[in-house]
C-alpha cells in the first residue's frame, strides 16, 4: 500500500479525533508522494492553508461568520494585524491562521497515530 492510501485510511479509521479531516485528506493527497513520509511535507501546511481560502469576498465573510473561532485569531497568534488595512484583509488573515492551526493540530495527531 502506498503512503498516501495508508495515511488516508488511517484518517478515515479515526475521523472522530480530527477537527478538519477532509482538509487533512486533501492536504495528504496534494502534497504527499509515495516516496515521502509525513515529516517531509509538514512545512507545506501554511501554503495549503493559504491556497484553500475563499477568493470571493462574500465567501470569506460567510466562512468567517461560520467559524466563530476565527475571530481575532491573527491577534492571538501574531499579536496584531500587521498592515491589513481593511476588514476583509483582517477576516482573511483570521481564517488563514485558524485553518493553519487546525491543520497543524490534525497533522500532529496523524503523525502520532502513524507511530502506533
Helix count (H) and strand count (E) of the chain?
6, 0
| Torsion 44-49-50-51 (CA) sign | positive
All three cell numbers of 97: 491562521
Can you tell me the distance from the alpha carbon of 21 to that of 11, in angstroms, rounded to the nearest whole number?
Answer: 7
| pLDDT tens per residue across all 116 residues of the chain | 588 899 999 999 999 999 999 999 999 999 998 788 888 899 999 999 999 999 999 999 999 999 999 999 998 888 888 777 789 999 999 999 999 999 999 999 999 998 86
- Specify the pTM: 0.87
Amino acid at each position: 500500500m502506498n503512503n498516501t492510501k495508508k495515511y488516508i485510511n488511517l484518517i478515515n479509521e479515526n475521523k472522530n479525533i480530527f477537527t478538519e479531516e477532509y482538509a487533512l485528506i486533501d492536504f495528504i493527497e496534494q502534497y504527499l508522494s509515495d516516496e515521502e513520509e509525513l515529516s517531509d511535507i509538514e512545512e507545506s501546511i501554511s501554503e495549503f492553508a493559504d491556497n484553500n481560502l475563499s477568493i470571493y469576498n462574500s465567501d470569506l465573510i460567510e466562512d468567517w461568520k461560520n467559524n466563530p473561532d476565527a475571530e481575532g485569531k491573527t491577534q492571538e497568534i501574531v499579536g496584531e494585524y500587521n498592515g491589513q488595512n481593511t476588514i476583509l484583509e483582517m477576516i482573511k488573515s483570521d481564517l488563514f491562521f485558524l485553518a493553519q492551526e487546525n491543520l497543524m493540530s490534525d497533522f500532529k495527531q496523524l503523525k502520532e497515530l502513524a507511530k502506533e
